[in-house]
Amino acid sequence: MTQLESAKEGIISPQMESVAQCEGVEAEFIQQGVAKGTIVIPSNTKHGNLTPCGIGQGLRTKVNANIGTSSDYGNADTELEKLRVAIDCGADTVMDLSTGGDISAIRRAIIAASSLPIGTVPIYQAGIEAIARYGAIVKMTVDDLFAVIEEHTQNGVDFITVHCGVTQSAITRLKQQGRVADVVSRGGAFLIGWMLYNERENPLYEHYDRLLELAREFDVTLSLGDGMRPGSLADATDRPQVEELLTLGELVERARQAGVQVMVEGPGHLPLNQIETNVHLEKAICKGAPFYVLGPLVTDVAAGYDHITGAIGGAIAAAAGTDFLCYVTPAEHLSLPDPEDVRQGVIASRIAAHAGDIAKGVKGAEQWDRQMSVARKKLNWEEQARLSLSPERSRQVHSKHAPAGAACSMCGKFCAMALVEEYLGVSATRC
């Protein structure tokens, strides 16, 4: 039985127990969330060393780190190093988006080395193999695509992005819309090219039942991709995007009926004032399915700093009910991320996720900040480092300029904390 089928039967699986322990909630809460589809636990039965992670309503907002080679750069070693950095920095999941080198071998190495759930986008590999075999992505056969999906599920991939909502009707809307940036989703672009050339419906939509069967076999969670996500603020929340979301809402219901766990992906580039609306739309149309957003990026002009752009959007999205943030690195729009970009991206998204969790009232979120404030009042630097999102960075910055006393070098002997303690006798122990 899949997690969803177990939960519907009222059975609490070991994965549900583990997630409950991690989140500090009752196992029944997880089981009921999985049964309703508002929580997913991506856990392929073939991913041996996996620590299960719950994503969804009432749980801590999770952060995904994308790694993977491109046709220009990277190999198994570079990607395993990025995986290590992502795990060290506290990512909750990792997606292998490799499009260069021995893609299958890299994926298997990443899965073997990862205790975190691993996600992939099988259409990338299917498209690349079609180029090698036939000279063009558009020559890919439906069986070729499903063979790659099967390979990923059998390898132990825990969740797969499948752009099932890129239908002919969504393409018609795209043409009529007249976008600034058209399509920025690689998977979406592969499929649109294939559909237009072959004058056929999206095979992932047309053969959705076949996809559900493959996913069900090893309990792979479907992450319904947003091939029509806006890649420019000018294209945000437009008709093709909403058309795709309506289709995804229907596919969520079919996945749940088939016993397959499902979440829904979202934008992308969104102005601040449209983020909440997008979250509410997804939650309403997709019946509470966990929402997984890329960023969102709240401006188009911060190249080199898009981890910050994404964290601003991610915090607002998380506060509004988004469950899962895909990180954005400083390399976004510019190059393939290196390990330092991965570090910056994960930390920025974790800040966003935690800020959202405080607003959402996630268990333990507010207390964490309170503990930090108490440690600050006590000038307890080691405790502050321990409580930091990045203890190493905290220690490094604090020791940059040696302080004369117990305070830090910012105010030195005029430390506000120390002065108030001395003259007003206010003790942090009362906090």
Q: Which residues bind ligand SF4 (CB under 6 A)?
A: 407-408, 410-411, 415-417
What does residue 100 show for φ and ψ, rounded to 5 degrees?
A: -135, 155
Q: How far is the CB of 374 from ligand SF4 (least distance, A)?
A: 13
Nearer to ligand SF4, 82 or 398 (CB): 398
Cβ count within 10 A of residue 105: 12
Q: Is 386 exposed, middle or buried (0-12, 13-18, 19+ CB in 10 A)?
A: middle
**Cβ closer to ligand SF4: 329 or 384?**
384
Amino acid (1-letter code) at residue 393:
R
Q: How far is the CB of 415 from ligand SF4 (least distance, A)?
A: 3
Say how far apart CA 190 and CA 227 lie, in whole Å: 10
Question: What minimum distance in Å lies between the beta carbon of 5 and ligand SF4?
Answer: 53
Amino acid at position 237, single letter: T
Which lies closer to ligand SF4 via its Cβ, residue 190 or residue 381? 381
Identify the three-state secondary structure at position 159: strand
Q: Minimum Å distance from CB 410 to ligand SF4?
A: 4
Minimum CB distance to ligand SF4 smaller for 105 or for 416: 416
Q: DSSP of 195-261, one letter per residue?
A: HHHHT---HHHHTHHHHHHHHHHTTPEEEE--TT--SSGGGTT-HHHHHHHHHHHHHHHHHHHTT--
Residue (301 or 404) nearer to ligand SF4, CB: 404
C-beta of 186 vs 376, nearer to ligand SF4: 376
Closest to 294 measured CA to CA, from 140, 97, 133: 97
Residue 365 vs 407, nearer CB to ligand SF4: 407
Nearest-approach distance from CB 63 to ligand SF4, in angstroms: 28
d(CA 204, CA 146): 9
Packing angle of the helix pair 339-360, 76-89 (nearest 10 deg): 30
- What's the CA gap between 323 and 58, in Å, rounded? 9
Cβ nearer to ligand SF4, comparing 176 with 429: 429
Strand stretches in 251-351, DSSP E: 262-266, 291-294, 324-326
Cβ(219)–Cβ(261) below 8 Å:
yes
Q: How far is the CB of 412 from ligand SF4 (least distance, A)?
A: 6
Would you call the peptide bond into 268 cis, given omega within 30 degrees of 0 as the criterion? yes
Closest to ligand SF4 by CB, 168 or 380: 380
**Residue 155 identity:** N
Shortest distance in whole angstroms from residue 381 CB to ligand SF4: 9
Give alpha helix (H) positions in 135-201.
Answer: 142-155, 168-177, 186-198
The least distance separating ligand SF4 from the CB of residue 350, rounded to whole angstroms, comes to: 23
Least distance (Å) between residue 395 CB and ligand SF4: 15
